[in-house]
């Protein structure tokens, strides 16, 4: 069964559901629901109370007759259990090892503190966490039932098998197997489309956990901890990745290569499009720690190194107020709609949000920005219908790998009338069967312009049958200009605006800080090359954050 990678609850087998949070990066984890009659077992809560409340609302809206009486936490990272408090009457199950780690977890307290209450410098990934998520109100609710090895749990007339496979990603990882549905909820034993984090290891046990999954008879549908619903082929790919990390780090360790250099030098052939590349530092460091046998390099040390590993912006955006003032002075004769992009107080065009980083970056060349602004304004208020315009821009963002462009226009596409499912399938291209013929032609036109910079006669004619000459010319310019802007975004590594960095969206796509390639399954990462919530364990004595 093909499952769209969109935010919300999806039935993936009879009475078996996955709750997905694109783009699956830092802090955006998946959950599962297994139903029998009026009873249900929930696999994992989410990173924050608001996220978990949205999850439970989706369940009650879709399945109003169901009561969640059992909750299984797949492991101890916060994005898989910090919402437990919203199920106060449930039996909460975890492995004994995971429960022990959960009992030592106080990181949510650090993340919820005001800026003036921290007292220590924080790695950028943790700063991003604090900006993107609301950690207030978390009251840690620990498991009230634990096990080691294997456990069978009854859900109405169904049987769910819990299989402990940690230590691997963490000390107490658990797989949730639903034999009668052919479904496996893998927790963070599986990541799809992005680099994982090896918190505990050993990596050999994680590889063995992949082998166990591959050997489970009848399993056809696998829900990863992060990423879209997949099958066993993706488990094989992920296993190969872990082997590559193990082998590369082992060779580098034997050669005495410093861990940061070893992470930068790893061959990523076949994995170059995966998100969250900076996690290689954590993973290579984990193998070094295993080989050293003395706890070094520690995860807190490696987290601090992420700031050095992650690619920084090549041109930091200028202060929005400065750019606005300069452009306003230069643009006295420009149309009012353009001037409103740059009011003197530095407020941007998007409902009071600040001047976007794309404009603040191009603002290093005020004359260029002043010349470009009228064309952008024309294209966004021209002859093409808003829905068609945003569909073409989203496909351009996808084909150019511009996570920044994608994330901004996911928001604008929704305002223009594109449904979440439509946005999600933009990455599938014109051949998806659910497109109308008119949408299919538009997407095909974008692809032809991207691939060969010319439309075929058939595509031109199909467009011309329904559009005026100005609309045709405007479409050609639209794809070209947004392709050019994507080149600026990708090359300058423009960071995603803070006000968008933590927002989840339908059908995520994108790359690192607007600079990475699009893999068609995951979304744009957050500001300065790091999204929030995985891998930030061990900060200031706290452990257990997430992924």
Distance CA 338, CA 336 (A): 5
| Lowest mean pLDDT, pick from 38-42, 100-104, 242-246, 500-504 | 500-504
pTM above 0.85, yes or no: no
Distance CA 100, CA 88 (A): 20
Question: Is 296 in a helix, a strand, or coil?
Answer: coil
pLDDT digits (tens, 9 = 90+) for 425-458: 888 889 989 999 999 999 999 999 999 999 999 9
pLDDT for residue 344 is more than 60: no
| Whole-number percent of the chain with pLDDT over 70 | 84
* pLDDT grade for 110, boundaries at 50, 70 and 90: confident
Q: Which two tokens stand for residue 140?
A: 């840690």
Which of left, alpha, beta for 539 (phi over 0: left; psi -120 to 50: alpha)? Answer: beta
Distance CA 325, CA 344 (A): 5
Distance CA 405, CA 396 (A): 9
Query: What element of type H or E holds 243?
Result: helix 232-254
- Look at the alpha carbons of 402, 407, 408, 410 in this order and tell me if their dihedral is positive or negative: positive
| Whole-number percent of the chain with pLDDT over 90 | 59
> Which of 351 and 123 is assigned the larger pLDDT?
123
Question: Is 119 in a helix, a strand, or coil?
Answer: coil
Contact 512, 275 (CB under 8 A): yes
pLDDT digits (tens, 9 = 90+) for 12-55: 999 999 999 988 988 999 999 999 999 999 999 999 999 999 99
| Lowest mean pLDDT, pick from 109-118, 251-260, 453-462 | 109-118
Mean pLDDT of the chain: 85
> What is the maximum alpha-carbon separation in the chain?
73
pLDDT for residue 306 is more than 60: yes
* pLDDT grade for 490, boundaries at 50, 70 and 90: confident
pLDDT of residue 500: 65
- Rounded to the nearest 10 degrees, how much is the dihedral formed by the CA atoms of 202, 203, 205, 208? -170
């Amino acid at each position: 069964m093909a499952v769209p990678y969109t935010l919300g609850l999806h039935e993936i087998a009879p009475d078996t559901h996955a709750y997905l949070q694109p783009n699956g990066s830092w802090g955006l984890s998946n959950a599962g629901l297994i139903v029998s009659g009026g009873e249900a077992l929930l696999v994992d809560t989410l990173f924050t109370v608001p996220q978990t409340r949205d999850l439970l609302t989706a369940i009650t809206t879709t399945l109003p007759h169901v009561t969640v009486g059992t909750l299984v936490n797949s492991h101890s990272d916060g994005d898989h259990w910090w919402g437990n408090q919203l199920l106060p009457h449930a039996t909460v199950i975890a492995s004994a090892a995971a429960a022990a780690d959960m009992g030592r977890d106080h990181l949510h307290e650090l993340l919820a503190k005001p800026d003036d209450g921290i007292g220590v410098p924080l790695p950028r990934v943790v700063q991003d966490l604090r900006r993107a998520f609301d950690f207030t109100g978390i009251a840690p609710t620990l498991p009230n039932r634990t096990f080691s090895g294997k456990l069978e749990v009854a859900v109405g007339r169904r049987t769910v098998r819990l299989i402990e496979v940690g230590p691997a990603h963490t000390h107490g990882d658990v797989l949730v197997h639903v034999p009668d549905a052919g479904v496996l909820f893998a927790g963070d034993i599986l990541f799809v489309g992005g680099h994982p984090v090896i918190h505990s290891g050993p990596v050999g046990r994680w590889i063995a956990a992949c082998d166990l999954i591959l050997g489970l008879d009848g399993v056809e549908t696998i829900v990863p901890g992060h990423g879209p619903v997949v099958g066993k082929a993706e488990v094989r790919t992920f296993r190969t990745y872990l082997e590559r990390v193990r082998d590369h780090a082992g060779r580098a360790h034997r050669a005495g290569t410093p861990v940061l250099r070893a992470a930068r030098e790893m061959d990523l052939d076949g994995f170059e499009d995966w998100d969250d590349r900076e996690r290689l530092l954590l993973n290579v460091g984990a193998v070094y720690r295993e080989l050293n046998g003395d706890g070094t390099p520690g995860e807190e040390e490696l987290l601090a190194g992420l700031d050095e590993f992650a690619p920084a912006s090549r041109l930091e955006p200028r202060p929005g107020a400065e750019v606005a003032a300069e452009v306003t002075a230069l643009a006295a004769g420009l149309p009012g709609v353009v001037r409103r992009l740059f009011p003197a107080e530095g407020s941007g065009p998007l409902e009071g949000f600040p001047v976007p980083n794309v404009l603040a970056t191009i603002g290093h060349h005020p004359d260029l920005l002043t010349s470009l602004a009228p064309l952008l304004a024309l294209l966004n208020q021209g002859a093409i219908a808003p829905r068609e315009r945003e569909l073409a821009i989203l496909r351009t963002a996808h084909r150019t790998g511009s996570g920044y462009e994608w994330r901004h226009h996911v928001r604008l596409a929704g305002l223009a009338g594109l449904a979440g499912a439509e946005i999600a399938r933009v990455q599938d291209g014109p051949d998806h069967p659910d497109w109308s013929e008119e949408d299919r032609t538009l997407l095909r036109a974008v692809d032809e312009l991207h691939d060969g910079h010319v439309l075929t006669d058939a595509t031109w004619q199909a467009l011309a049958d329904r559009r005026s000459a100005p609309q045709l010319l405007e479409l050609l310019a639209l794809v070209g200009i947004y392709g050019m802007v994507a080149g600026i975004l990708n090359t300058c590594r423009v960071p995603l605006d803070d006000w968008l960095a933590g927002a989840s969206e339908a059908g995520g796509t994108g790359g690192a800080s607007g600079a990475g390639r699009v893999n068609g399954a995951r979304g744009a990462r957050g500001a300065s090359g790091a999204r929030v919530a995985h891998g930030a364990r061990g900060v200031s004595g706290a452990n257990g954050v997430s992924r």
